[in-house]
Amino acid sequence: MVIHGLTPDECREVLGRSRHGKLACARDGQPYVVPISFYLDPEENCAYSFSAVGQKIEWMRGNPKVCLEVDEIVDQFHWTTVVAFGRYEEIPDSRQHTDARRRAHELLQRHAEWWLPGIGRLNATEGHPTSVIYRIHIDRMTGRRADRPRPGS
pTM of the model: 0.81
Burial class (CB in 10 A: 0-12, 13-18, 19+), 140: exposed
Contacts of 130 (CB under 8 A, 6+ apart): 52, 53
**What digits encode the pLDDT tens for the residues 110-146?**
765 544 444 444 444 454 457 888 999 999 999 999 9
Give the domain ranges of the chain: 2-147
Q: Which residue in 80, 38, 30 sits closest to 55, CA to CA?
A: 30
**What digits encode the pLDDT tens for the residues 29-49?**
999 999 998 999 988 899 999
Contacts of 104 (CB under 8 A, 6+ apart): 48, 50, 91, 133, 135
Note the CATH architecture for domain 2-147. Answer: Roll (2.30)
State the CB neighbour count (10 A cutoff) for residue 50.
22
86 neighbors 137 (Cβ within 8 angstroms) = yes
**What digits encode the pLDDT tens for the residues 95-118?**
877 777 777 777 777 765 544 444
